[in-house]
Amino acid sequence: MEGGAKKNESSNMKTASTDEDLSDILLQIRASKTPAVINYGASWCRVCNQILPAFQQFSKKFPKLSFVYADIDECPETTQHIRYTPTFQFYRDGERVDEMFGAGEERLHDRLWLHS
């Protein structure tokens, strides 16, 4: 993510740019019980870059969800379990309840609707 994209307009969208960031965010998700979705992507992944603008738009459309973007290259320790990019993980009451591999705006929208 370039060009100052780390600071997002939407308050429910966070970007983890280090392992420490992502660890802190995961702790917050577990503690707050707020429903959340984490988008694990990579700057070199074409599909990740295509879905990211939609992910950011959806963060405005689903204000009850916390949205997180984590680049697997910037957070190598905390994302070593991620095998595909993009991977979307959905959390409810501090627990991971769902996972979606790959993009697809409509699929993602439906999953977000389901978990919001």
Catalytic residue list contains 45: yes
Looking at residue 11, what is its pLDDT?
Answer: 66
Of the residues 45, 52, 70, 100, only one is catalytic, namely 45
Which among 52, 29, 42 is positioned nearest to 83, based on CA atoms?
42
* Whether residue 75 lies in the annotated active site: no
Q: What is the pTM of this model?
A: 0.89
Identified catalytic residue from 29, 48, 68, 108: 48
pLDDT tens-place string over residues 32-86: 888 999 999 999 999 999 999 999 999 999 999 999 999 999 999 999 999 999 9
Confidence of residue 2 (pLDDT cuts 50, 70, 90): very low
Cβ pair 53, 61 in contact under 8 A: no
- What domains sit in the chain, N to C, each tagged with a CATH number? 13-115 (3.40.30.10)
Q: Which residues contact 90 (CB under 8 A, 6 or more apart)?
A: 35, 36, 37, 96, 97, 98, 99, 100, 111, 115
Helices (H), the chain: 19-32, 46-61, 105-115
